[in-house]
Structure 1
Amino acid sequence: MLTSQRKQLILEALTRDGQVVAKSLSAEFGVSEDTVRRDLRELAADGRLQRVHGGALPSSPAAVDLAGRQGIGSAAKAAIGRAAAQMIAPGQIAIVDGGTTAVQLARHLPRDLRATIVTHSPSVAVELADHAALDVILIGGRLFRHSMVAVGAAAVEALSHIRADLYFMGVTGVHPVAGFSTGDLEEAYVKRALAARAAETVVLASAEKLNAASAFMIAEISAASAIVVEKETPESLTAPLEALGVAIVRA
């Protein structure tokens, strides 16, 4: 079997099963595990999958920079943002993450909503500048340009003084085995700190993020109370997540 054929079969298995195991692939293809691991390394270098111990998971196409993400699933992100915005009740304190879907959440908040929004995203804060009824708390720190959010010790320290009702988390990967993940280690730390300061965490996940993984884990799936997905998301993608105890909200 040619290398290109093996790689195509690996990618097809990832799409079908959500993960592959090097030992099983070795037996299936009749080649050594070293050969399979080399195939996985090369596919990972091309951004086609995410390597894990013993095998691989699908790689998230959402792990590109902010400019690249703006053109991915914009209508779906608007619907997800609209549904998430409706979850914030008057008087609540809500933490809103950075990213393109979080900006859509901000755009769909009612103009007369009286609540407090905490964010480490300048983009989200700017969207809310004209919402006179909202209290907006902008968390500072080192600007992580890839996602246009504040990260670092200063951001984590500022968050330690906040107790919120809800945290709307942005991720690049949602996988029943690999949990919630993102492409940057420091950003993953900040997201964990944000989740620790809220009574409930709601994850915003357009279709390309489901059944995919990025390099740095944020939390297990059970850390979220709900995941907001687009209306037409296949049941095959959401059922394994619901089985782990998280509610699926279709936007």
Structure 2
Amino acid sequence: MSDIPIARRDVILHRLDRGLPVVAADLALEFGVSEAAIRRDLRALAAEGRCRRVYGGALPTSPASAPMVVRVDEARERKQALARVGASLVQPGQLVFLDSGSTNLAVVPCLPAGSGITVATNSIAIAAEVARREDLQLLMVGGFVDRHVGGSVDAAAIAMVSSLNVDHCFMGACAVSSVTGVSAFSMADALFKKALALAGHHTVILATSEKLETRAPYRICAVGEIDHLVVEHDAPDEPVRLLAQCETTVLRAAAPP
């Protein structure tokens, strides 16, 4: 990245670190260089993992861009703190959907014992965890498995989800923004989550701080369509304030032990 002028690099990175997308044409005008030069800059930054390249510019990175098998082992205690809050919203006898995601996986051991809860999921890892608990009923949503997502998000999965009346839907989110809403890195995943939101009476997102005020290419819904957004105990105040203004209930998790 040494071929990128330092001042230009710092401006681009500062905007990305604030969760703002950047547009190559706008940057070219601002710095008086060609769009080709800006595209080279963005490719170099993307190669370092500092942004995600999209047509016409770049987006801030989100931790959810990594495959599910990688994310499962990351920040376990932080995810467990979020999961405890989410599980406290569930009532005995309800049908709960746990969308594929490493934080939703942490919800399974937090669900109350002997409460007659049925867990539906499209996730291989979550289904395996639920199957270990004899007090939980398991409903597996099937179809071809997207290895990156860690579960089924194809037309068959959408058709099955559309036939359900879910009490609490724990939706996985790649990015959550007060401006661009809830979004995903995969179009198929985003379409599945749209169907899931329609099937859920009450929708919950458990979001680690790295996902707040970031963007992913495919929009799922507005933040205001989420009933509860659970954030970490030390989530930055400004993103939380902006998200709370979107007519969703924001809950803070307790600090991990």
TM-score of the superposition, structure 1-length normalised?
Answer: 0.89
Is the partner of 2:106 in helix, strand or coil?
Answer: helix
Of the three residues 147, 150, 166, the one matched with 1:148 is 150
- TM-superposition CA deviations, 1:106-126 (whole Å, max 9, x none): 121122222222111122122
Which residue of 2 is the match for residue 9 of structure 1? 11
In the alignment, the residues of structure 1 paired with residue 66 and residue 19 of structure 2 have an alpha-carbon distance, to the nearest angstrom, of 24
Matched, 1:220 2:222: yes
- Mapped to 2, the partners of 1:47 and 1:178 lie a distance apart of 22
SS in 1 for 2:201: strand
Structure 1 runs not aligned, ≥5 long? none
CA–CA separation in structure 2 for the residues paired with 1:2 and 1:27? 19
Q: What are the equivalent positions in structure 2 for 1:158-177 lying under 5 Å apart?
A: 158-177=160-179
Cα 1:94–1:17 change in 2 (3 A) is closer
Q: Please list the CA deviations of residues 204-239 of structure 1 after superposition, one character each: whole Å capped at 9, or x if unmatched.
A: 111111122223222222221121111111112211
- Give distance in 2, aligned partners of 1:221 and 1:51: 24
Shift of 1:197: 0.3
Work out the CA distance in 2 between the residues paired with 1:54 and 1:150.
30
Distance apart, 1:52 and its partner CA: 6.1
State the distance in 2 between where 1:157 and 1:36 align.
Answer: 43
2:125 paired with 1:123: yes
Supply the RMSD in Å over aligned alpha carbons: 2.4
- Mapped to 2, the partners of 1:74 and 1:132 lie a distance apart of 24
Unaligned runs of 5+ in 2: none
Kindly indicate whether the alpha-carbon contact (under 8 Å) linking 1:94 and 1:167 is maintained by their aligned counterparts in 2: yes
2:198 alignment partner in structure 1: 196
Alignment match, 1:62:
64
Give me the whole-angstrom Cα distance separating, in 1, the residues matched to 2:55 and 2:143.
34
- TM-score, structure 2 normalization: 0.87
Q: Which amino acid aligns with 2:18?
A: R
Q: 1:31 and 1:175 mapped to 2: Cα distance?
A: 30
Aligned position for 2:20: 18
Residue 107 of structure 1, aligned match among 90, 96, 109: 109
Mark the CA change 1:42 to 1:217 in structure 2 (over 3 Å): closer, same or farther.
Answer: farther
- Secondary structure of 1:241's counterpart equals helix
Alignment partner of 2:216: what SS? coil
Task: After TM superposition, give the deviation of residue 22 of structure 1 in Å.
Answer: 4.7
1:95-136: per-residue Cα shift (whole Å, max 9, x none)? Answer: 111121111001211222222221111221221224333322
Match of 2:160, SS?
helix
SS of structure 2 residue aligned to 1:157:
helix
Query: Does the Cα contact within 8 Å between 1:95 and 1:118 map onto a contact in 2?
Result: yes
Q: How many pairs align?
A: 251
